[in-house]
Chains A and B, each alone.
Chain A
C-alpha cells in the first residue's frame, strides 16, 4: 500500500493527503458519560449485516448542530466540509437490523426530529479509524456507546408520525414524504433507522441513500412519461468542491445519460484520467449502475426538474471531477451539484447543441418515422 510508504509526501499524485487532513480536524473523545446534541444524524453500518453497528452522530463542539447534517447549505472547499464533519463522533452499538429494543426506539425518535436533540450516553471505548466513502459523508472518530437517552423532546412532524404509525409500504412512505416537501437527506435518515415500511428494519446508511434516490427516481419517471418533450435545448452548469457539472436537455423521449470524467489526481483516480458512462430510458433501470450511487444521486434532481417544468427530454449530465476533490465527501455532492445547476439554467443556441449531440448515439422513436 502506497500510503504506508509515503506518509503524506503525496507520492500518489493527489493535491493533499486526505488522511492527514482528516487527522488534523479530528476531535478527541474520552471514555465516560457525555451530554451532547445530535444534529440529528445517524449512521448504520453495513459490515456484518444483519448484525451491524448503529448509533447517532454526536456533535462535540458546534453551536449550530443542524448545520452539520445539512449538505444543501454547505459551501467552500473539501477541507471545510471535512472540518465540519470531523466534529461529529460516530456513536455505535451492535444491533440486529430486525430487532426493536429501547436503543433502536430512542435512536428512531432522535432521528425523526427536525431539530437537534440533546442526548445522553456512556462512551465505552474509542475506535480510531478513518471513514472515507464515495456515498457517505465523512465522519469523525467512532466510539462504542451504551445507555442512550434523550434529554429533551424530539420535534417530529405530523406527517412523519403518520408514516411511522400507519401501515404504509416503504416506497409509498418515501414518495409521500418527498411530495410533502421533506428533503431527501431527511427521508434517507428515516429510511435508515427503519421508520418507513411495514416490516420495520434498519438499513445500512450507505444502502438507504441510494435506495431513496432510486425509489423516488423511478416513481418520478412514471410521472413524466406522459409529458410533452421540451421545445428547445437547455444547457446548465455548476461547480462545487472540485466537481463540475454540465447538464444538457434536448427535445425527444426521456433518456438519462451520465458521463463521469475523473481527472488525473482526483480521489478515485490518482494516476490517470478515467471516463465512465451509464444511461437508461424511461423503462425501469435493471442493473445497479457501474457508476455507483452517484448515478442515482444525479438522476433524481434531473427528474425533479422535469416534473417541475412538466416536460421530458433527453438528458446528458457530465460530471467532471478535478484534483481539488481529493477526498470523497458523499453523493450529496452530486445531488446538490445537479440540483443547483438546474436552478440557475440558461438556454443555448440550437446549433451549438446540435454539434455536441452528433457525437452521441440516440434511440430514435417511431414518430420520427411517421409521415403526417
Chain B
C-alpha cells in the first residue's frame, strides 16, 4: 500500500520531465522518496527524477515498490491541476494507481515493470566544468538558438560560460561571466548538443529555478534542474554530437 500526497506543481513537473523522453517509465517508491529514470528510444538522453520524502505533504510506503506507469496519460490528466492543488497518489494493489485531486479521482492501470524498457545505467562521467545559473536565462538561450540552428555549442573557460548557435546567415552567442553566474569553477570545456533535445528539457524550468551544468570535452552533459521551489530534482544527461575531424 502506497499513499502519498504532493503539491500539484511538483508531480506535474516531474511527469512532464519524463514525457519529454519516453511515454512509459518505472516509478520506484522508496523509503527516501520517489525515483524514476529513463532513456529515450535513440539512447541519446536520460532523465532522472527524484522527489525526496520531505517534498511530499504525506508519504506512506508500507513496503518499497516498483510500478510501471503510463506517464503520458498521467501527465495529460495532471495538466488540469493547479500549482497549489494537492494531489494524492494511491496504490493498493499491483494493478491500479489512483490519482486524486479536488473532487476528481483518476484510476489508471499499471504496466508490468518488466514490459518497460530496461533502465539505463547512469554513466560515470568525467566532467571538469561546473556552471550554476538561473534556469530561466538558460531556457531563453536555448529557445533563441532553436530558431536558427539544430545544434548548439556549450563552452566554458576562465572568461565565463558560452552557448553558441550558428544558422545559415545568422548566429547567436549567449555569454555569462563569473559575476552573473551563481557558481562557476573556471574550468575549460566544450561540447556540441542537439537543440531538439535541449528545447524539450528546458520546458520544465522557469525564472527563479536553478540549473547546474556539468560540462566536458566532446562528452555528455549533465543538466540538473532544481524546480518547484526546490522540491523536485530533475537531472538530464545528454550525449554530444561529435564534430568532424
Please say whether chains A and B are actual partners in one complex: yes
Q: Residues of A at under 8 Å CB distance from B?
A: 225-226, 253-254, 281-283, 358-371
Residues of A within 8 A of B125 (CB): 369
Contact of B244 among A360, A364, A366 (CB under 8 A): A360
Confirm or deny: B239 has a beta carbon within 8 angstroms of a beta carbon on chain A. Answer: yes
Contact code string B21-55 (vs A, CB < 8 Å = 1, else 0): 00000000000000000011111111000000000
Contact of A370 among B121, B243, B245 (CB under 8 A): B121
Contact: A369 with B41, CB < 8 Å? no
Contact of A366 among B120, B192, B243 (CB under 8 A): B120
**Residues of chain B from 219 to 245 with CB closer than 8 A to chain A in the complex:** 219-220, 237, 239-245
Residues of B within 8 A of A359 (CB): 244
The distance in angstroms between the C-alpha atoms of A366 and B42, with both chains bound, is 9
Describe B's contact surface by its main secondary structure.
loop
Confirm or deny: B102 has a beta carbon within 8 angstroms of a beta carbon on chain A. Answer: no
- The chain A residue sitting closest to B39, CB to CB, is A366
Chain B, interface residues (CB within 8 Å), range:
20 to 34
Contact: A358 with B245, CB < 8 Å? yes
Given contacts A283-B40, A370-B121, 9 further A-B contacts (CB under 8 A): A253-B42, A281-B44, A282-B42, A359-B244, A361-B242, A363-B242, A364-B220, A364-B242, A365-B44
Contact of B194 among A360, A363, A371 (CB under 8 A): A363
Contact: B42 with A362, CB < 8 Å? no
Contact: B124 with A254, CB < 8 Å? no
Contact of B43 among A358, A360, A361, A365 (CB under 8 A): A365
- Closest 7 interchain pairs by CB? A365-B43, A364-B239, A282-B42, A225-B41, A370-B123, A369-B123, A358-B245
Residues of B within 8 A of A282 (CB): 41-42
Contact: B42 with A281, CB < 8 Å? yes
Contact: B240 with A364, CB < 8 Å? yes
**Shortest Cβ distance from residue B123 to the other chain A in the assembled complex, whole angstroms:** 5
Contact: A366 with B239, CB < 8 Å? yes
The answer to whether A365 and B121 touch (CB under 8 A), given A281-B44, A282-B42, A283-B42, is: no
Residues of B within 8 A of A362 (CB): 241-242
Contact: B124 with A371, CB < 8 Å? yes
**Shortest Cβ distance from residue A295 to the other chain B in the assembled complex, whole angstroms:** 15
Contact code string B117-135 (vs A, CB < 8 Å = 1, else 0): 0001101110000000000
Residues of B within 8 A of A360 (CB): 244
The answer to whether A366 and B241 touch (CB under 8 A), given A282-B42, A283-B42, is: no
**Shortest Cβ distance from residue B16 to the other chain A in the assembled complex, whole angstroms:** 17
Contact code string B57-76 (vs A, CB < 8 Å = 1, else 0): 00000000000000000000
Residues of A within 8 A of B151 (CB): 361
Residues of B within 8 A of A371 (CB): 123-124
The distance in angstroms between the C-alpha atoms of A226 and B151, with both chains bound, is 25
Describe A's contact surface by its main secondary structure.
loop
**Shortest Cβ distance from residue B165 to the other chain A in the assembled complex, whole angstroms:** 14
Q: Residues of B at under 8 Å CB distance from A?
A: 39-46, 120-121, 123-125, 151, 192, 194, 196, 219-220, 237, 239-245
A-B contact pairs, 15 of them (CB 8 A): A282-B42, A283-B40, A358-B245, A361-B151, A361-B192, A361-B242, A361-B244, A362-B242, A364-B220, A364-B239, A365-B42, A365-B44, A369-B125, A369-B219, A370-B123
- The chain B residue sitting closest to A365, CB to CB, is B43
The distance in angstroms between the C-alpha atoms of A367 and B121, with both chains bound, is 9
The distance in angstroms between the C-alpha atoms of A361 and B153, with both chains bound, is 13
- The chain A residue sitting closest to B219, CB to CB, is A369
Residues of B within 8 A of A226 (CB): 41
- The chain A residue sitting closest to B117, CB to CB, is A226
**Shortest Cβ distance from residue B147 to the other chain A in the assembled complex, whole angstroms:** 12
Residues of B within 8 A of A283 (CB): 40, 42, 196
- The chain A residue sitting closest to B191, CB to CB, is A364
**Shortest Cβ distance from residue B93 to the other chain A in the assembled complex, whole angstroms:** 30
**Shortest Cβ distance from residue A103 to the other chain B in the assembled complex, whole angstroms:** 43
The answer to whether A366 and B242 touch (CB under 8 A), given A283-B196, A371-B124, is: no
Contact: B242 with A369, CB < 8 Å? no
Contact of B42 among A254, A358, A368, A369 (CB under 8 A): A254
Residues of B within 8 A of A364 (CB): 44, 220, 239-242
**Shortest Cβ distance from residue B219 to the other chain A in the assembled complex, whole angstroms:** 7
Residues of A within 8 A of B242 (CB): 361-364
Residues of A within 8 A of B43 (CB): 253, 365-367
The distance in angstroms between the C-alpha atoms of A370 and B44, with both chains bound, is 12
Residues of B within 8 A of A365 (CB): 42-44, 239
The distance in angstroms between the C-alpha atoms of A366 and B45, with both chains bound, is 7
Residues of A within 8 A of B239 (CB): 363-366, 368-369
The distance in angstroms between the C-alpha atoms of A358 and B243, with both chains bound, is 8
Contact: B123 with A363, CB < 8 Å? no
Q: Which of B196, B219, B239 has the most CB of A within 10 A?
A: B239
Contact: A361 with B121, CB < 8 Å? no
The distance in angstroms between the C-alpha atoms of A74 and B243, with both chains bound, is 41
The distance in angstroms between the C-alpha atoms of A201 and B192, with both chains bound, is 45
Contact: B237 with A366, CB < 8 Å? yes
Residues of B within 8 A of A363 (CB): 42, 44, 194, 239, 241-242
